[in-house]
Structure 1
Amino acid sequence: MGKKSCSYTPDAQFAVAESTFIFDHLTRKVYFAVAPIFPGAKTDLIEMIEGIDPEDDEADELEGELIGAGDADRYMKGVLRSKVHIMDGDIFQVVLARSAKVRCTNPVGLYRRLRRINPSPYTYLFEFGGLSIVGASPETLFCAHAGKLKVNPIAGTCPRGKNAAEDDALARAMLEDEKERAEHVMLVDLGRNDVRSVCRSGTVRVEDFMSVLRYSHVQHIETTVVGSLREECDQFDAARSVFPAGTLSGAPKLRAMEIIDELEEEPRGLYGGGIGYFSVDGSADFAIAIRSILLQNDVATVQAGAGIVADSDPLREYQETERKMAAMKRALGVAE
């Protein structure tokens, strides 16, 4: 990519889990697992059990200091430049992102708050030395299990209402919005093409087309695409086929990524990447790194993007990024 494509964080970081603490939210049971191939596995298991802290300190309070919110005018000018690329025929759509920075020294407390404020299918906290990742992502990058591959493109956003009736009205308006529908259908088609590239002919299908999902501050349109992996393809082939997600880059992907590199202020780093695991049994499950916060040197970086199409309104797209950041800022203790 171009001059800004060099991130300040590792491109990828993986770990082999020798010991695992598993909490089943459905049964409320705790499990401990260690891999017997590792020396001292039994000792590790005992130490894990003895090291459990029963104290419930869910009441973490954070008072974040906003130290950088990005330039709204610059972002909106980027939207206009994106529309020029679209009118010139370079792309059909591009996801343009922006960031904000907040002072924060407590990743564990931040995780607890974000989990409560914005419950999501994927919540996570990773700590790698001086680098921490906290997130509550609504979107699957890909899930491979028992020979099946699943992705769930999310495209289309509107705010939450003050009550159920307002929620329904806003969701209905979103579903009837031609821009939102066209963008969603285009990205579902892109997801189908990604899945089809590694799946058996005739097995790729669309499920739950354009369903509405509700989160703490926004509502989204989501569709599920599934298929059966070809015999010669595994979870790593699946990862290559879908990454990066069209819902975080654009269409066509390569040209959209070049335009992202041209227009965004800084490298994306974590944003739009994947958070998940590859298992020895051939399965894998990754979330897209959205609604995610990167902490480094006591600074938390939050990022959000909006899908830009031919009839995008710059102010509306900027406001969409603000709504997507809202839960993260609230978790960080920054007043909305």
Structure 2
Amino acid sequence: MVQVNDLQNFKLKALQWASSYNSACYLDSNGFDDPYTKFDTLIAIGSKAQIKASAGSAFSDLQNFRTDNPGWLCGFFGYDLKNEVEKLSSQNFDGLDFPDLYFFAPVHLIIIKGNQAEIMSDDPQHVLSRIDEQELITYDNQPSTHLKSRFTKQEYVDAVTAIQEHITRGDIYVTNFCQEFYADDVHIDPFSVFTQLNTVSPNPFSTFFKWNNNYILGASPERFLAKRRRKLISQPIKGTAKRHDDLEADELVKQELRNHPKELQENVMIVDLVRNDLTKSAKQGTVATEELFGIHSFRQVHQMISTVVCELQEHLPPVQAIKNSFPMGSMTGAPKISAMQLMEQYERSKRGIYSGAVGYFSPDDDFDFNVVIRSLLYNADKGYISFHAGSAITYHANAEKEYEECLLKAKAVLEVLGG
């Protein structure tokens, strides 16, 4: 254990050093109080073994890789692994070309709790020296990046109206309809953009992930699925309200969210879906809703979050438990398969890593994965930047308000990019 005196400076230097490797993962809880978090910050650096896979046999390939590498693993699941879990397909445009699944066993790992850093490496002193010698580089004068949308506002409104006709017919009850904001021929410094994003919008599942020249720069507030001993925990988010500087107005908005019929309806539908997903992995009779309609506040927004838990079946591999709940219900809709099929028709780009998950497996076979939302995805070789935002569409949804909610969710990323 190493005592860290200037924690923020240490984390920035460690991240800058990590980002020089082809494989790096930085997970930061940003000080949020969470009973299920194992650490404040994890930094995984370099790869001694890795797996890249596409939908088809990705989960079984990962299970084999996990058997061969039982220590720490960091990586991501792309949304289009849905095509392996169910009989689905994805034909929409993909400007990023990320793999559906990527995991690596790190050469060096740093776990920070409070002001203590544990360094797991063959040469911890070398790691400390490399971090200490870093001179932080800032890019204060990066040119503004203006993201374009795949939809005009009117096209988005028309699509929502069409989706609501499916709801009226009973094809689905609720869905998550997403739009992509993107830019071509753009060059950014991912380290600088992430540190700005994490300052503007610090969230409990913030992520800097690098695989070769591909980056996930995330400010996610949502947990997809965690395992703690025999317990599985899922915390779907459904329900969003804008923060206000005025304390009285902010509290009023918070109370309105807590009692808003549409937001409550969205949340409880997804809770039911998550409960159903967890039954596939649960010891019979153990699925429970630990918290329903909890209101949690973040820098940009208030969110309605519920917590669903269960006891894991004996001998069920952790990778299988993830597959049983993937993709997360908060990003699909209900019924799950019908909602996913319909969104492939109405959305104009592949979600890829968006609506997927980033996280880790630990040596005790616990794991923790976020939901990739509020995240900027960047392919540096192609100069392609992508940011998706979505909102829940129900029978009672107002298309214009849902469009504004997408822009609210995009606010932090747009601010960092200068758009």
TM-score when scaled to structure 2? 0.73
Q: Deviations over 1:40-82 (max 9, x none)?
A: x33xx34322211454557856442214133222222211111
Letter in 2 for 1:47: H
Question: Unaligned 5+ residue runs, structure 2?
Answer: 1-87
Aligned-partner Cα distance in 2 for 1:131–1:56: 22
Cα distance change of structure 1 residues 217 and 248 upon mapping to structure 2, 3 Å threshold: same
Aligned-partner Cα distance in 1 for 2:247–2:135: 36
Map 1:156-305; keep pairs closer than 5 Å. Answer: 156-296=239-379, 297-305=382-390
1:140 aligns with 2:227: no
Question: 1:299, CA displacement in angstroms?
Answer: 3.1
Letter in 1 for 2:111: I
Q: Deviations over 1:9-49 (max 9, x none)?
A: 2111111112112333x2x2222102xxxxxx33xx34322
Q: Give the stretch that moved more between structures: 279-288 or 139-148.
A: 279-288
Q: Secondary structure at the match of 2:252?
A: helix
Percent sequence identity is 28
Name the residue aligned to 1:38: none
C-alpha contact (below 8 Å) 1:4/1:267 kept by paired residues: yes
Aligned with residue 86 of structure 1, among 167, 178, 199: 167
Question: 1:6, CA displacement in angstroms?
Answer: 7.0
Letter in 2 for 1:23: I
Cα distance change of structure 1 residues 264 and 211 upon mapping to structure 2, 3 Å threshold: same
Question: 1:220, CA displacement in angstroms?
Answer: 0.8
Aligned-partner Cα distance in 2 for 1:72–1:215: 27
Name the residue aligned to 1:47: 126
C-alpha contact (below 8 Å) 2:93/2:348 kept by paired residues: no
Letter in 1 for 2:146: L
Aligned with residue 68 of structure 1, among 140, 144, 148: 148
Cα distance change of structure 1 residues 6 and 233 upon mapping to structure 2, 3 Å threshold: farther
Give the length in aligned residue pairs.
324
Letter in 2 for 1:89: G
Q: Deviations over 1:110-159 (max 9, x none)?
A: 11011111111111111112211110111111001111100001101111
Aligned-partner Cα distance in 1 for 2:141–2:227: 38
C-alpha contact (below 8 Å) 2:142/2:188 kept by paired residues: no
C-alpha contact (below 8 Å) 2:146/2:418 kept by paired residues: no
Name the residue aligned to 1:32: 119
Q: Secondary structure at the match of 1:21?
A: strand
Give the RMSD, CA atoms, in angstroms: 1.8
Q: Give the stretch that moved more between structures: 125-134 or 64-73.
A: 64-73
Q: Secondary structure at the match of 1:254?
A: helix
C-alpha contact (below 8 Å) 2:159/2:346 kept by paired residues: yes
C-alpha contact (below 8 Å) 2:93/2:349 kept by paired residues: no
Give structure 1 regions of 4+ aligned residues with deviation exceeding 6 angstroms.
none
Name the residue aligned to 2:398: 313
Letter in 2 for 1:113: Q
